[in-house]
Structure 1
Amino acid sequence: MSASDDEVLNRTGGKYVEPGGEFTRDQRYIATRVTGDGRDGWPVEPGRYRLAVSRACPWASRLIITRRLLGLEDAISMAVAGPTHDKRSWTFDLDPGGRDPVLGIERLADAYFKRFPGYDRGITVPAIVDVPTGQVVTNDYAQMGLDLITEWTAYHREGAPELYPERLRDEIDEVNALVFADVNNGVYRCGFAGSQEAYEKSYHRLFDRLDWLSERLAGQRYLVGDTITEADVRLFTTLVRFDPVYHGHFKCNRQKLTEMPVLWAYARDLFQTPGFGDTVDFDDIKRHYYEVHRDINPTGVVPLGPDLSNWLTPHGRESLGGRSFGDGTPPPPPPPAERVDPAHTPLRVG
């Protein structure tokens, strides 16, 4: 259950589509922050926290990419849940014995209940957990990403890119707000629409914004400025799921990503950039959506396609200029324990 799915489960007891209605996201998250000055009681401290994610979830994938680009692997460890879940919680079924080796728990819900007994909202990923107490600190995924960028600077790797430069923050925030409303959340509004009217409204809003993005990116390599920023991270995690999931499963089918030339080239450019494609697990992505959303896909059958080999074809975006990491450098290969299972993707990045 991603930060998009679990709110629905909490309201409906396992159903995602609300008949006759338009999907509305519950955005009430645990707003506590991990900061440099510890003003919320949770100071930045290397080794103290564990980032709970699933590679299936687009919201968690933002944190995985950001952490990797900044080189925070040694500062904040990562617990990876499996791609599927039940109504109760994400489970650490990928680990030996089905238990996270650091937190010692089988379900992420345990960390939520440790801090908030009787917690009645979604048990979401991503979440940051305080290892000494076993308590969830926050699941506010948007703020978590910004805090990794701005509050953990003392532990960024040498050569880490500026993902949220002060001079561009207003523009990044503006673009992020549009992309969230119409694209990141827009695909869910299509997929979970409970009426034809709600679906068609969401469909047009989504593709109008994708057209706007295509126009914006036709003449510039990245969304804001001439380097990768947090805006690119946020858009990428939706685009990389578009053809495997959203086009068919969520009925976002005016065009495939591969039929939108500018966005397809842009997505491949990012995918082939260290820190992006090497975090993507297409198998987990497809299993999550097709197996979990049983009211949309009752059989739970997971499609074998699409062919993914074209993600490494030339994209030609270099001609637009720009420097991926600005004055910084690409991240090194991911730690062996965090590499995506090669059986889950036919691609090799970097």
Structure 2
Amino acid sequence: MTAEDRTTAEHSTEGSYVHKGKPFDRDMTYIDDRITRDGRDGWPVEEGRYRLIAARACPWANRTLISRRLLGLEDAISVGMPGPTHDRRSWTFDLDEDGVDPVLGYERLQQAYFARFPDYPRGITVPAVVDIPSKAVVTNDFQQITLDFATEWTALHRDGAPDLYPEGQREEIDALNRWMLHRVNNGVYKVGFAGSQEDYEREYRELWAALDELEERLGDRRYLMGPSITEADVRLFPTLIRFDPVYFGHFKANRQPLATMPNLWNYTKDLFQTPGFGDTVDLTQIKTHYYFVHEDINPTQVVPLGPDMSHLLEAHDRDRLTTNTWGDGGTAPAAPPAAEVVDPAHTPLSVTGR
């Protein structure tokens, strides 16, 4: 087997995601180098040196796009966006002119991985941060990337950037994020890629028990940690925004639509209407990715037209709760750069700031 063929199905490469008789088990081994102020891993924070590769279709990548927007790192960290579909080798830059990333000169994200690890044996995943001078991948550790954006890149944050990872709440945020990762963020995949009826039913119940807990948690607080947005909200929103269009039907997580759960749904609408969240969402790319790439569970690759998601812009009731959205001294981010604006045809309506 050649290096080009080495992939793992649970990563972002086309192939077999469902294994009959087996539960879904995500490979959580990532390139764990970090970009830090002191450069202790050999990668110092440096404006303009790194390129974030983040497909809009991917929920793990969506987190990094949100964090980058909220913190105002657009000028410090450039972004490359692969298209919503890929083959078994890699995400590709098919949205760019001539199918080539204009900064890296690559057709495939795989090339950045192989530039550093010629025999890289795992999935070619997004998000990934690439060192522009060497054109080699630095890290694809999606859980650490956003934490480092919040804590290591502070010198390059915009004026008024929120503190997404406040020191006094870090222990609780970390615990909640670990729980959400296994029960919700990855929980939907455990349901959708279950290889047996027994596995499916167990994971289905686990997922819905977790969503019921979140519904209760959001009954007395505007955001997951209280009156202000934190890293926890950045991690939950990408799963919730994909739930009704994808996970409900495609992954058979169909106890009820999220839109029937008042706290979770109004929370989702609230964040969707918040600058930095909804303006990173491309619902067309999201649906195209899941329904086209997961041939195991959708062999026809037919992408559904529905559901109608225009109600994301309807009024929500979250402002009845104590609110300090951006934290003390924080402000909303400016509009996204023109080159990063989502095609209005790919969202329910134009997302406007407040």
The TM-score normalised by the length of structure 1 is 0.97
Task: Report the counterpart of residue 344 of structure 2 in structure 1.
Answer: 342
Q: Percent identity?
A: 65
**CA–CA distance in structure 1, aligned partners of residues 91 and 219 of structure 2:** 39
Q: How does 1:75-94 map to 2 (within 5 A)?
A: 75-94=76-95
CA contact (8 A) 1:222 1:228 kept: yes
Query: What does the per-residue CA deviation read over 1:131-184, in whole Å, with 9 as the maximum and x for residues that have no partner?
Result: 000000000000011000000000000000010000000111111111111000
Q: Do the aligned partners of residues 126 and 274 (structure 1) sit closer, same or farther apart at CA in structure 2, a change above 3 Å counting?
A: same
SS in structure 2 at match of 1:50? strand
Task: Report the counterpart of residue 162 of structure 2 in structure 1.
Answer: 161
Task: Report the counterpart of residue 181 of structure 1 in structure 2.
Answer: 182
1:332 aligns with 2:354: no
Task: Report the counterpart of residue 3 of structure 1 in structure 2.
Answer: none
Q: How does 1:198-347 map to 2 (within 5 A)?
A: 198-327=199-328, 328-347=330-349
Task: Report the counterpart of residue 35 of structure 2 in structure 1.
Answer: 34
**CA–CA distance in structure 1, aligned partners of residues 160 and 109 of structure 2:** 33
**CA–CA distance in structure 2, aligned partners of residues 148 and 9 of structure 1:** 26
CA contact (8 A) 1:51 1:126 kept: yes
Task: Report the counterpart of residue 61 of structure 1 in structure 2.
Answer: 62
**CA–CA distance in structure 2, aligned partners of residues 318 and 199 of structure 1:** 37
Q: How does 1:133-144 map to 2 (within 5 A)?
A: 133-144=134-145
Q: Do the aligned partners of residues 249 and 314 (structure 1) sit closer, same or farther apart at CA in structure 2, a change above 3 Å counting?
A: same
**CA–CA distance in structure 2, aligned partners of residues 71 and 13 of structure 1:** 33
Q: Which amino acid aligns with 1:91?
A: T
Following TM superposition, by how much is the alpha carbon of 1:22 offset from its aligned partner in structure 2, in angstroms? 0.4
Task: Report the counterpart of residue 72 of structure 2 in structure 1.
Answer: 71
Query: What does the per-residue CA deviation read over 1:191-250, in whole Å, with 9 as the maximum and x for residues that have no partner?
Result: 000000000000000000000011111011111132000001111000000000000000
Q: Which amino acid aligns with 1:286?
A: K
Following TM superposition, by how much is the alpha carbon of 1:7 offset from its aligned partner in structure 2, in angstroms? 3.8
SS in structure 1 at match of 2:9? helix
SS in structure 1 at match of 2:81? strand
**CA–CA distance in structure 1, aligned partners of residues 175 and 323 of structure 2:** 21
Runs of 4+ in 1 over 6 A off after TM superposition: 10-13
1:44 aligns with 2:45: yes
CA contact (8 A) 1:168 1:225 kept: no
Query: What does the per-residue CA deviation read over 1:33-62, in whole Å, with 9 as the maximum and x for residues that have no partner?
Result: 110100000000000000001000000000
CA contact (8 A) 2:14 2:293 kept: no
The TM-score normalised by the length of structure 2 is 0.96
SS in structure 2 at match of 1:223? coil
**CA–CA distance in structure 2, aligned partners of residues 253 and 43 of structure 1:** 45
Q: Do the aligned partners of residues 113 and 36 (structure 1) sit closer, same or farther apart at CA in structure 2, a change above 3 Å counting?
A: same
Following TM superposition, by how much is the alpha carbon of 1:349 offset from its aligned partner in structure 2, in angstroms? 1.5
Task: Report the counterpart of residue 96 of structure 1 in structure 2.
Answer: 97
SS in structure 1 at match of 2:137? strand
CA contact (8 A) 1:10 1:120 kept: no
**CA–CA distance in structure 1, aligned partners of residues 10 and 86 of structure 2:** 11
1:192 aligns with 2:190: no
Q: Do the aligned partners of residues 12 and 154 (structure 1) sit closer, same or farther apart at CA in structure 2, a change above 3 Å counting?
A: closer
Following TM superposition, by how much is the alpha carbon of 1:13 offset from its aligned partner in structure 2, in angstroms? 7.3
Following TM superposition, by how much is the alpha carbon of 1:342 offset from its aligned partner in structure 2, in angstroms? 1.2
CA contact (8 A) 1:246 1:252 kept: yes
Following TM superposition, by how much is the alpha carbon of 1:346 offset from its aligned partner in structure 2, in angstroms? 2.6
**CA–CA distance in structure 2, aligned partners of residues 179 and 326 of structure 1:** 23
SS in structure 2 at match of 1:106? coil
**CA–CA distance in structure 2, aligned partners of residues 59 and 12 of structure 1:** 15
CA contact (8 A) 1:9 1:87 kept: no
CA contact (8 A) 1:7 1:25 kept: no
CA contact (8 A) 1:92 1:107 kept: yes
- Cα RMSD (Å): 1.2
Which is worse superposed, 77-86 or 337-346? 337-346
